[in-house]
Amino acid sequence: MSERLGITYELSCGRGESPERKARGIALEQTVELPAATLPPGIESAMVGRIETLEPAGGNRFRARISYAPETVGGELTQLLNVLFGNISLKRGIRITGIAWPAALLRRLGGPAYGTAGIRRLTGVRERALLGTALKPIGLDAAALARRCEAFATGGIDLIKDDHGLADQPSAPFADRLQRCQEAVTRANARVGGNALYLPNVTAPFAEFPRRLEAARAAGCRAVLVSPWLAGLDSLRWARDQFGLALMAHPALTGSAFGRRHGIAPELVLGDLFRAAGADASIYPNADGRFGLSRRRCEAINGHLRGPLGELHPAFPVPAGGMDVARAPGWVRRYGIDTILLIGGSLYARGDLVRGARELLDAVREQHA
Amino acid sequence: MSERLGITYELSCGRGESPERKARGIALEQTVELPAATLPPGIESAMVGRIETLEPAGGNRFRARISYAPETVGGELTQLLNVLFGNISLKRGIRITGIAWPAALLRRLGGPAYGTAGIRRLTGVRERALLGTALKPIGLDAAALARRCEAFATGGIDLIKDDHGLADQPSAPFADRLQRCQEAVTRANARVGGNALYLPNVTAPFAEFPRRLEAARAAGCRAVLVSPWLAGLDSLRWARDQFGLALMAHPALTGSAFGRRHGIAPELVLGDLFRAAGADASIYPNADGRFGLSRRRCEAINGHLRGPLGELHPAFPVPAGGMDVARAPGWVRRYGIDTILLIGGSLYARGDLVRGARELLDAVREQHA
């Protein structure tokens, strides 16, 4: 691994704050964590981040590109997160806007095992956008959730995921929900000749996580839902390598990193990082819904999930969060068919879930970008 | 578990944004994730967050207190994080400023196994503030780091932790570093009659984490360093239960949640959450150093680590980040002796590490709050 990791930062400088010192501070903070004067011989050139460029970006903002020796990261996702935004998360006015990935690091992280082609194989859907929905609400028992699952699968939804807030609560304990929902989907698939997938939420405490993955595989699931920011980003990569299940990633808690002046750009977290860690599909809050990302930002996320990233498979963008049935065709035209539309509330609002799902399927079937 | 989880939010409302709707949006978003009109009978009263109070807090700000049924969280840290700030992290203008913990949830999470009293037992330090330092920089080999370790232990530093950026890089691979540093500390302890602890950084990818903990225990370490935001918060709790090692938590990456208008108050993350999850000591960036927390904020963190939290043991605050030897006595007077002062760069700047450590020890020995 000789290629360096390149990180682009947008720096917002306070009054009297020098952009040169701010950039140099990052280069030291994210590596040696010592003032340069106290470094032993050879460490500065070998380990300290190297400021490659620094240029004005309007007003009090500056764009810095700093490169890091591959040695700094090694090959571990925990330490990669640390180099990206560990200590500097505790500072102000630093926003990561780009990552230039060393090919060797991407190879080591591995990316999606299935990717868009693999998910299409699993669902048997070739030439249209895929449809997803969320099983909810929390509070229903497993039998009631399974009935909803069966209705969605009957109506033609391709991927039916647990709401990410369904964990192992008493109203619908994980094991019971898993069994009933997977059986319901299997039954519906047999009846209508479908390939719908049920994705249980396996996000869980450390020791439980492997058990839920194993249970999901044993129950016949072919994909699962994980919230990497809750369980730890590397849990995604590990699940990919150990269980052979397709992985849909949920953005819970990531939004705290999406500040306008401080944080990490959403397309890098929900795009690059989740994809590199193994997500075959990555959920994000779509524009015009109940969250605040702009259309341009959503298109950037799509691009980072589907565009070139070393030799990694492309992953599915999953726009969600207040999407509705009526506007679904428009989103397919805008985002293209390599998209999973995740529609929840608007389907539930129709009351008849089978019919709602069918209408949605009919609406997007003929849509192309 | 019948007591409800209470969360206090500071809401910043945009032009035309109603605080009532914003609070109600949170109550729905963090539970059922559906519009109220689509909820099956009984779910609203059982599961939706209940707005207990909502009051103006100056300008466009409002203070809301919402309570949640214990059922929403169940007993898992992953889902607790989700209820706290999962989806709403993706919104704007929501800041969590208080958590009213149900006693049963705290009992279930368990808190520190050692706590302040246990760390004092391990180090044999009774009536003064404890001294900590960080082994660095990355780039030195394990032998050189071990020499630094030995010097610090000889000079009287109580807790010598890996820099949190030391993972398993080629320059000082984990296994080699662990062995040499622990041996160095043992040697120094024998020579000077001390009880210094070496805390290897066990933050690691999912499958590696148990192996590094096991290796640390086997090498004779009695405490370790974990970055919960990198490895997943529950990894801390799990390590406590499985390995019997004392735990020092590092705040890497947490700062992205510390926005002024959006996020979670630092004393809740580095105080309540880390302590509830099992941290015996929690590092935070001290005021007047290279990070931006105010003195008042730091005192709030101290209070949340040491003050009443159900029946949980108190944990040590570990102010760090640009602390210096000269001002150490002042911090002890301000924060009290149940504090671990973590001083890195300023010790290295002195050149002679043994002597620097002795001066530091002499300086704080007689200080009381």
Nearest to B232 among A79, A232, A285 (CB): A232
Contact A89 B253 (CB under 8 A): yes
User: Which residues partner with B161 through β-bridges?
Assistant: B134, B199
Q: ipTM of the assembly?
A: 0.97
Q: For the residues B58-86, what does the mean pLDDT come to?
A: 97
Nearest to A238 among B203, B206, B253 (CB): B206
C-alpha closest to that of B182 among B195, B199, B170, B169: B199
Nearest to A74 among B31, B82, B168 (CB): B168
In Å, how far from its chain's centre is CA A111? 12
* Structure letter (DSSP) for residue B259: -
Percent of chain B at pLDDT > 90 equals 93
Q: What is the average pLDDT score of chain A?
A: 96
Q: How confident is the model at residue A38 (pLDDT cuts 50, 70, 90)?
A: very high
Contact A262 B263 (CB under 8 A): no
Contact A71 B238 (CB under 8 A): no
Distance (Å, rounded) from C-alpha A131 to C-alpha A156? 8
Q: Which helix (H) or strand (E) holds A285?
A: strand A281-285
Residues of A in contact with B293 (CB under 8 A): 90
Residues of B in contact with A14 (CB under 8 A): none
- C-alpha dist (Å) from residue B83 to A188, B67, B237: 32, 11, 18
Backbone φ/ψ region at A288: left (φ over 0), alpha (ψ -120 to 50), beta: left
**How many CB contacts within 8 angstroms connect chain A with chain B?**
279
A78: closest chain B residue by CA: B230
Of chain A, the end-to-end C-alpha distance in Å amounts to: 39
**Pick among B13, B138, B140, B342 to test the A interface (most A CBs inside 10 A):** B138
User: Which residues partner with A76 through β-bridges?
Assistant: none
C-alpha closest to that of A136 among B290, B50, B43, B32: B32
Q: How confident is the model at residue A274 (pLDDT cuts 50, 70, 90)?
A: very high
Distance (Å, rounded) from C-alpha A334 to C-alpha A330? 6
Distance (Å, rounded) from C-alpha A162 to C-alpha A275? 21
Residues of A in contact with B79 (CB under 8 A): 165, 167-169, 203, 230
Q: For the residues A327-354, what does the mean pLDDT come to?
A: 94
Q: What is the pLDDT of residues B313-354, one digit of tens each?
A: 999 999 998 788 899 999 999 999 999 999 998 899 888 999
* Structure letter (DSSP) for residue B34: S
Q: How confident is the model at residue A140 (pLDDT cuts 50, 70, 90)?
A: very high
Q: What is the average pLDDT score of chain B?
A: 96
Distance (Å, rounded) from C-alpha A53 to C-alpha A23? 10
* pLDDT score at A345: 86
User: Which residues partner with B99 through β-bridges?
Assistant: B7
**Pick among B30, B88, B206, B269 to test the A interface (most A CBs inside 10 A):** B206
Q: For the residues B218-235, what does the mean pLDDT come to?
A: 98
Residues of B in contact with A89 (CB under 8 A): 252-256, 258
C-alpha closest to that of A260 among A97, A98, A66, A26: A97
Nearest CA-CA distance, residue A137 and chain B, Å: 5
Nearest CA-CA distance, residue B186 and chain A, Å: 25
Q: How confident is the model at residue B369 (pLDDT cuts 50, 70, 90)?
A: low
Amino acid at residue number A3: E
Contact A167 B258 (CB under 8 A): no
Q: Does the pLDDT of residue A1 top 60, yes or no?
A: no
Quick one: A57 exposed, middle or buried, by C-beta within 10 A (0-12, 13-18, 19+)? Answer: middle
Residues of A in contact with B29 (CB under 8 A): 290
| Range list of H helices, chain B | 19-29, 43-47, 70-73, 77-85, 103-109, 115-123, 142-155, 174-192, 208-219, 228-231, 234-243, 266, 274-277, 295-306, 328-335, 345-349, 353-365
Structure tokens that stand for B338 in this block? 């149940």
Q: Does the pLDDT of residue B172 top 60, yes or no?
A: yes
User: Which residues partner with A226 through β-bridges?
Assistant: A249
Q: What is the pLDDT of residues A182-205, one digit of tens each?
A: 999 999 999 999 999 999 999 999
Looking at the whole model, is its pTM more than 0.90?
Answer: yes
Residues of B in contact with A171 (CB under 8 A): 71
Contact A223, A318 (CB under 8 A): no
Contact A91 B34 (CB under 8 A): no
Out of A71-75, A218-222, B297-301, pick the least confident.
Answer: A71-75
Tell me the pairing of strands B263-264 and B159-162. unpaired
Could you check whether the bond before residue A137 is cis, i.e. omega within 30 degrees of 0?
Answer: yes
Contact B42 A139 (CB under 8 A): yes
* pLDDT score at B14: 93
Percent of chain B at pLDDT > 70 equals 99
A141: closest chain B residue by CA: B43
Amino acid at residue number A280: D
Q: How confident is the model at residue A368 (pLDDT cuts 50, 70, 90)?
A: confident
How much of chain B is in helix, strand and coil states, percent to nearest 5? 45, 20, 35
Residues of A in contact with B213 (CB under 8 A): none
Q: For the residues B211-222, what does the mean pLDDT come to?
A: 98
* pLDDT score at B1: 44
Residues of B in contact with A255 (CB under 8 A): 87-91
